[in-house]
Amino acid sequence: MRVSESGKRVRNGRIRLRMQLPRWLALAVGSQACALALAPWFTGGLYLGPRPVAPDQVLNGLLWTGDFPLMGMFLVGVAVLIGLLACGWNVAMWRLPIGRVALPFALLLLWMGLSALVNGTGWYGLRRLSEWGVAFVLMLVITAIVRRGASTWTLLVALTTTATLLALRACTEYLINRLIGIPNWRVFASFFNPNLLAGYLVMSAPLTMGILLALERWGKSGQTQRAAFSLAPIQGWTALLTVALWLQLSALVLTGSRMGVVAFVGAFGVFLGLALWWMVLTRAFLSRLALVGVLLLGVVWLSLPAAQRLTPQAATQEVYSGSFRFETWKGTLRMVLANPVLGVGLGAFEWRYPRYASVGFTRLAHNSYLELASEAGIPALLLLLALGIGWLTRALQPELPPPAHSAGSPLPQPGRGGGGEGQPPFTTRHAPPFDWRPIRLGIVAGVLAGVAHNLVDSDLACFANLLTLVGLLALGLALAIDGVYTIPLSVIERRGAALVLSAGLGMSLASMGLGELYANQARYEMLVGHAPQAVEQLSIARSLDANNPDYLMDAGELYYALGRRDTAFTLMERAAQLKPSPRFWYRLGLYYEREGKINQAKMAFEHVLHIDPNNLPALLKLAQIHQQNTATTHLTPESLRYYERIIQLERSPYGQIRAVPEMVETAYGFAHLALAQHYEAQGDLARAREEYEAALAVFRAYRERTLPFNRMGRELGLYNPEREQQILMAHRRTLEGLIRLLEQAGESAQTAALRAEYAKLSDF
pLDDT in tens, 267-290: 999 999 999 999 999 999 999 999
437-486 pLDDT, tens digit per residue, is 999 999 999 999 999 999 999 999 999 999 999 999 999 999 999 899 99
What pTM did the predictor assign? 0.90
Q: Are 221 and 75 in contact (CB under 8 A)?
A: no
Query: What is residue 312's predicted lDDT score, i.e. its pLDDT?
Result: 44
C-alpha span between 654 and 314 (Å, rounded) = 22
Query: What is residue 181's predicted lDDT score, i.e. its pLDDT?
Result: 79
How remote is the C-alpha of 421 from its chain's centroid?
37
Residue 420 has pLDDT above 50, yes or no: no
The pLDDT mean for the chain works out to 87
C-alpha span between 377 and 341 (Å, rounded) = 5
Kindly write down the DSSP assignment for every residue of 407-442, as one continuous string.
Answer: TT---PPPBTTB-STTS-TT--TTPPPP--HHHHHH
Query: What is residue 305's predicted lDDT score, i.e. its pLDDT?
Result: 58
Residue 608 has pLDDT above 70, yes or no: yes
Query: What is residue 449's predicted lDDT score, i.e. its pLDDT?
Result: 97
Residue 319 has pLDDT above 60, yes or no: no
479-538 pLDDT, tens digit per residue, is 999 899 999 888 898 899 999 999 999 999 999 999 999 999 999 999 888 989 999 999
Domain ranges of the chain: 2-398+439-505, 662-764
212-245 pLDDT, tens digit per residue, is 999 988 877 655 554 444 556 778 889 999 999 9
Choose between 153 and 761: higher pLDDT.
153
- CB burial class (10 A; 0-12, 13-18, 19+) of residue 696? buried
Query: What is residue 412's predicted lDDT score, i.e. its pLDDT?
Result: 37
**pLDDT interval class at 103 (50, 70, 90):** very high
Instruction: Report the DSSP beta bridge partners of residue 18.
Output: 9
Residue 314 has pLDDT above 90, yes or no: no
**pLDDT interval class at 16 (50, 70, 90):** very low
Residue 623 has pLDDT above 50, yes or no: yes
Q: Are 475 and 146 in contact (CB under 8 A)?
A: yes
C-alpha span between 160 and 207 (Å, rounded) = 8
